[in-house]
Amino acid sequence: MRYHESIIDLVGNTPLVRLNKVAEGISATVLAKVEYFNPGGSVKDRIAMRMIEAAEKSGALKPGGTIVEPTSGNTGVGLAIVAQQKGYRCIFVCPDKVSTDKINVLRAYGADVVVCPTAVAPEHPDSYYNVSDRLVRETPGAWKPDQYSNPENPASHYHSTGPELWEQTGGRITHFVAGVGTGGTISGTGRYLKDVSDGAVQVIGADPEGSVYSGGTGRPYLVEGVGEDFWPTAYDRSVADEIVPVSDKDSFQMTRRLAKEEGLLVGGSCGMAVVAALRVAERLGPEDVVVVLLPDSGRGYLSKIFNDDWMQDYGFLDEGGPEAVAGDVLARKDGLEH
């Protein structure tokens, strides 16, 4: 018999798939690390496993304890799956703008979800931030992973994503491209690849135009899961050699092409990362191997990116035009505020 003891044994070891049609005319090899093959459907299963195991070791999370985290997305799913398999309770706190589908996914995995009003100031007692802090204080055995500051977030990528890429490419990877949200993926994977290659692998961050990583102030953008209006400590500013800002329109158009032309139904941050990867790959030669990480599946975005009306309302459907080239400016690391 060949079987796994539990679904959480399947976290990591995701496949690398070559991008063909969208990379036409490019001589470098462009490979995608497809993270929706994780059991919770995203790259965040990796950090959930490692943050929970480290908290068990340190004693911060005790048998029968409760995990409390303000999250509505992929991190919540990863935590919920690992928690149920290990016998912990989960309480997630989300703002009321989060879709009921996302909340129902977390509840389906057995998590409790507390929904807070979006329309109150952060200092209001009912705000998303205050409610999660209060739940941590008032719940016996509560532990808050805090993916934005937890060093186990980048460490999970240093110990899994990075080594997997080095092994899967036989050490031939020359460029690694990833979107930046908490910064865990790029910091951990990028640091490992730099260490193992004596600094040869180039690390490129993809960022929504307007976010702090590419020199913005946090101006709103629609791509989800990436970009910030503050600098999380999970992000190591010394790893990325370059940050490429990408517009929503370019990100979403590429996301749709990935489904249509590569058979990869992935999320908007994946389209964004691929746009950045192709911009980098365009200036490279046949010996170069560019790996771009695709964090999640497109299933969570069917009513947005894959809905023509929604795309049309935002003016994302028409081809060309000045916005389509707006992301062409590359912000060098040196040009960023430190």
Nearer to ligand PMP, 180 or 281 (CB): 180
Q: Can you point out the beta strands (E) in the chain?
A: 16-18, 29-34, 66-69, 89-95, 112-116, 142-143, 175-179, 202-208, 242-246, 289-294, 331-332
> CA gyration radius for the chain?
19
Q: Choose, from 44, 144, 194, 304, the residue flagged as catalytic.
A: 44
Please, which residues have CB within 8 angstroms of residue 51's CB and are 6 or more apart in sequence?
Answer: 79, 145, 147, 150, 152, 153, 156
Burial classification of residue 161, based on how many CB atoms lie within 10 Å of its CB (0-12 exposed, 13-18 middle, 19 or more buried): buried
Nearer to ligand PMP, 152 or 288 (CB): 152
List the beta bridge partners of residue 293: 33
Query: How many CA atoms, within 13 angstroms, populate the side-chain half-sphere of residue 169?
Result: 29
Of all residues in this chain, which one has the CB nearest to ligand PMP in the complex? 225
- Least separation in angstroms between CB 153 and ligand PMP: 7
Query: How many CA atoms, within 13 angstroms, populate the side-chain half-sphere of residue 253?
Result: 18
Residues in contact with ligand PMP by the rule CB under 6 A: 73-74, 179-185, 224-226, 267, 269, 295-296
- Least separation in angstroms between CB 74 and ligand PMP: 4
Tokens of 238: 């010394």
**Backbone φ and ψ of 245, nearest 5°:** -80, 140
Tokens of 289: 């191997």
CB 250, CB 235: distance < 8 Å? no
- Sign, Cα dihedral of 15, 183, 207, 244: negative
- Least separation in angstroms between CB 170 and ligand PMP: 25
- Least separation in angstroms between CB 116 and ligand PMP: 19
**Backbone φ and ψ of 74, nearest 5°:** -60, -35
Is 54 in a helix, a strand, or coil?
helix
Nearer to ligand PMP, 145 or 181 (CB): 181
Nearer to ligand PMP, 65 or 188 (CB): 188
Nearer to ligand PMP, 207 or 262 (CB): 207
Tokens of 97: 């703008």
- Least separation in angstroms between CB 181 and ligand PMP: 3
Nearer to ligand PMP, 66 or 185 (CB): 185
Q: Among this protein's residues, is 260 annotated catalytic? A: no
297: which DSSP letter? B
- Least separation in angstroms between CB 180 and ligand PMP: 5
Catalytically annotated residues: 44
